[in-house]
Chains A and B, each alone.
Chain A
Amino acid sequence: MKLINESSKTKIVNNLMVAILAVYGISQKRFDLNETTLFHQLVTEVISPVQEGLASSKKSLTFLWENYLLIVNTSKENNVLKKQISRLESDLTTMEEVRKENLRLKRLLSYSDEMSHQRVMAQVVGWDSANEFKVIRLNKGRNHGIKVMAPVITDHGLVGYVYRVTDNYSDVLTILDQNNRVDVMIERTRTHGIVEGVFNFKCALKYIMRNEPVEVGDKLITAGVGGIYPKGIKVGMITDVTKENFGMTLSIEVIPSVDFDKLEEVLVLIPTEVASASAVSPALAPIEEKKL
């Protein structure tokens, strides 16, 4: 009989120990809510400022990509002229970006005026690095009054809810994620259903019975059931309705109201009692007086 040597024994023991840890970790894992550990809190606070810095230099990165890297092989003379034009374009782009940002923020503020929540405006600084999860990272956290499960919106509609939060950053589980289920109703017929994220930046509307008069173009709003999202926030629009030969429900495809490709700023809604109980940072102070 072949004896197992010392090295193989160590390997087996190590493999087993890590495997047991991993299985335990998986059993404890929740994809819809997460408690922030000390390790996560510390490392996120150290690394995320780099993400924030890079996200805010998006304009420069885009400009570099579009206006320098793609024309690197042109002649020197052209380069001189193009540099001059680029400098002017850069100024114009910056001004145009500032104008657009102003417009977006104004729309965002006026949209949220209709809601009975306090709000914290935040910028998107990163996306989840795994394919199967659609999560965004915001540059505001506990210090700004943000709590887990707080709904996140834009002027176009629902983005998702806060999944985990550190002192200065928070992760939002978007409605594109398969783990986020939103109780919605069809605005026209008031029929209730559940919106779930599917592949390719689209969602599916589930549990709508075959005999419901659902049409392409119908708009979906939050139903206000479930305790996370306030009622009446725009969620998306039905783009395809399929009646299968089997089953009791319809197969419905939904395009979210929010264009996640162009998502830059969002509003985090905080129920009034939660917001007033938490320490309010200077960042929150200017908008705190104005109830949404």
Chain B
Amino acid sequence: MKSAVVQLPGLNRDRDMIAALTKISGRAPITVWQTETEIPDVDLIVIPGGFSYGDYLRCGAIAARMPVMQAIKEKADRGVKVLGVCNGFQILVEAGMLPGALMRNSSLKFVCKEVKLEVVNAETDFTRAYEKGQVIRCPVAHHDGNYFVDSKLLSSLEDNGQVVFRYAEGTNPNGSLSDIAGVMNRSGNVLGMMPHPENLIEAAHGGSDGRGIFASALDVVAATA
């Protein structure tokens, strides 16, 4: 399975993501620069975290309008898996590839800590390595992760199994509606999540609960490091 990591100015967890994908799949991902209009043939495109273009405007708003996003959209429409983590999630939302909005944390502060995630839907391309209802550890590090959708859309997301992760055990760090931590599109090939599974994949991280997401998406065995 081949993967690609999108690099935009201001993204800063691209190196973490490249390291995680390399360690888990055994091969380094291709990198894609902001101006590229064609993306090579890959099975998974990842938009990592950071502060694209400084996030001085609404988070992800500028990135969502860069040429590379059109190319990603086209790939997604053809069924290629797309994962957006943190700023990547915000960008996917701003690009209209995922429903809802990510508002400022309810604390109005940046928060970096470990939370618990419940795997709400384990029958997705990104969560097959987990069991439904399994609670995993995962760190978060963001300023704008407070997920919101209107009530009608919320029920449809829930009915369609599009809510993939929820903050569990009272660890919601940002005030997200219905404790939502990660959602996917209707067809199930685009996932956005605020937590950073790439920072919990090996012994040095103090655990490898995050590995399953990449192992599922890359179709490799989710062995612990």
A binds B: no
> Hey, which bits of chain A sit against chain B, CB under 8 A?
none
